[in-house]
Structure 1
Amino acid sequence: MLTNKMTELLKIEYPIIQAPMAGGITTSKLVAEVTNSGGLGMIGAGYMTPGQLREQITEIKELTPKPFGVNLFVPNEFTVTESEIELANQFLNPIRQQLKLHQNDNIELPDFNNDFEKFIEQIKVVIEEKIPICSFTFGIPSREVIYELKQAKTILIGTATTVEEAIENEKAGMDIVVAQGSEAGGHRGNFINRSQESLIGLMSLIPQVVDHVSIPVVAAGGIMDGRGLMASFCLGANGVQMGTAFLTCIESGAHQLHKEAILNTNEDQTVVTRSFSGKWARGIKNKFILQMQKHERLLPDFPVQNTLTQDIRKTSAAQDNQDFMSHWSGQSPRLAKNQTVELLLKNIIKEAKNIKLNI
């Protein structure tokens, strides 16, 4: 029951993918331990330079002979006006003052052309390093990129938050699609409808996606244990992608305050916000989110807002001040544990095998 089309395609023992959480969480140790324990470890490379990505790939290859993957952000064109940036800084400067940060009016803003060039260089690294699996968030890459990766025999995984997005992923040539339910922590992977209207619960999303695509479907959002894995199978998924469960593991590179926030929070304390990055994301409510809530629809889009808040997030983390950090989390924090990756995977598989379906 635990082997299927997806496990065969990815050459993994168990149908479990470690979500590619960007920003330093997916350490080489975490990725390698997931892979060595029978799942699929993924590098969250969205914010990495091509050089940083190559360096981490080299490290992981020394830790495991098994397949692992890389996740990339598909760059999207964006527009921003000076008045939007000035307004955002008006909201952010009082917070900078609380953190004793200097007001910075000369922040180097992101540029789509630079982001696109970086993305193409990242793709080159994936191909040159012969990475067997590459997944994408925030959209679908161009036909040219997909063709190059297919020529390199790379397995491609797309992300969808609606049936429409899943269909577009299959049409574009993705081999697998991750269906991200509204329960998922971190950034929403939506790219057709950019509003909150793509917040569809996983139990509703999975069977509808399964009925409309022929490629394997992976369930993502709030899954933490063997029960979630088996429930996903019942809904028609071929496997699961888990983020929060791995984030609190010992090998994770998440800040200790981030781990503690998840381990000490309840299911009703997460919220979907765009205050940190300009893109809707689920995280644990804190002072920053509550202060910015009334302004968030006026804020610039990702990645501009993400750049504007970078100094706040970094300084807050350095000061061990959780009030202004982004504590991304799914809706099942009560199920999170601080344990090794190996133990987490062993327990998931043991629990899944012990479940008897009463039909």
Structure 2
Amino acid sequence: MRNRLHGYYDEVGLGPVPQPCEPFPSFDEERLDIVLELRPKVVSFHFGLPDTKIVQQLKEAGCVLLCSATTVSEARQIEAAGVNAIIAQGYEAGGHRGTFTGDPAIDTVGTMALVPQIVDAVRVPVIAAGGIFDGRGIAASFALGASGVQIGTAFLACPEANVQPVYRAGLRAASDESTSVARCFTGRPARVVRNRFVLEMAGEEDAALEFPLQASLALPLSMAVDESRRADFLPIWAGQGVAKLREMTATALVEKLVAEAGP
């Protein structure tokens, strides 16, 4: 992978490709201590189940625990671990896949199929996520048995979202066919708006380093170029319904979603 990225590094003036490293810290004891001190009402895990000891400590601190599942098998493991609710993440969802068992390339169940299967397999509340952009998606999720919904991409067009101008422009230009799941940015499968880097690396997904080592090599590219070229290398995380984005304040969007979903 380092050899493959040499050309990009030369192009943007970064010099030699460095040795891969962990670019950001994982959830460790130090961060657990901070969470236990702050005692947030909700703690959500997306990259798999935490250790049983961590689950117990957080629950004793009064935190409600959520964890993402992309299959029924994962949902059952989450319930058995004592987590309070399960986020059923369909393949349509933007950003990183929450898969933690099996093969992410095979575990590609969509939200409409995943939610009712998880609802029938567990007894804890299920939160639908992936491809939900308006009240129709919310109503459909409730009809499938979900107790709630988790919406991400729809809020990226809100002025409160802290996204770069080039990121916002990429969202505006996206169509219903603009996203795909790629590993080239971080090493973990994630749904993004396709850009030059995604397209040129598409045939070399198997060469991507494990998460988060790939990120230490790929993410510096977007930070090394000026605004006019950043779109070539910036990961624009977005779900399949990105073309349905509506630009309004977060408050207005929430009110509209509630009204659209109906009673």
Structure 2 length normalisation: TM-score? Answer: 0.95
The answer to whether the 8 Å contact 2:5/2:17 transfers is no
Q: Select which of 216, 222, 244 maps to 2:125.
A: 216
Q: Give the 5 Å matches for 1:19-30.
A: none
Q: Which residue does the alignment assign to 1:280?
A: 189
Cα deviation digits, residues 2-58 of structure 1 (max 9, x gap): xxxxxxxxxxxxxxxxxxxxxxxxxxxxxxxxxxxxxxxxxxxxxxxxxxxxxxxxx
Task: Give the Cα separation in 2 of the matches to 1:278 and 1:335.
Answer: 28
Please name the residue that 1:128 is paired with: 37
Question: What residue in structure 1 maps to residue 261 of structure 2?
Answer: 352
The one of 325, 334, 338 equivalent to 2:234 is: 325
Give the match for residue 92 of structure 2: 183
Larger RCO (alpha carbons 8 Å, 6+ apart) = 2
Partner of 2:163: 254
Unaligned residue ranges in structure 1 (runs of 5+):
1-87, 355-359
SS at match of 2:262: helix
- Measured in 1, the distance between the counterparts of 2:154 and 2:226 equals 21
Task: Provide the rounded CA distance (Å) in 2 between the counterparts of 1:195 and 1:185.
Answer: 14
1:243-322 alignment runs, 5 A limit? 243-316=152-225, 321-322=230-231
User: Where in structure 2 are there 5+ consecutive unaligned residues?
Assistant: none
Q: Percent identity?
A: 36
1:94 matches 2:28: no
Specify the code of the residue in structure 1 equivalent to 2:87. V
| Aligned residue pairs, count | 263
Q: For the residues of structure 1 that align with 2:61 and 2:229, how far apart are their CA atoms?
A: 44
State whether residues 209 and 217 of structure 1, in contact with CA within 8 Å, keep that contact through their aligned partners in structure 2: yes
Taking a change above 3 Å as real, the CA distance of residues 121 and 319 of structure 1, as seen in their structure-2 partners, is: farther
Q: Which of 11, 19, 22 in structure 2 is aligned with 1:110?
A: 22
Match of 2:54 in 1: 145
Aligned CA distance change for structure 1 residues 332 and 142 (closer, same or farther; 3 Å): same
Normalising to structure 1: TM-score of the pair? 0.70
C-alpha distance in 1 between matches for 2:76 and 2:70: 11
Letter matched to residue 163 of structure 1:
V
Other-structure match for 1:158: 67
- Kindly report the root-mean-square deviation, in angstroms, between the aligned alpha carbons of the 2 structures: 1.7
Aligned-partner SS, 1:302: coil
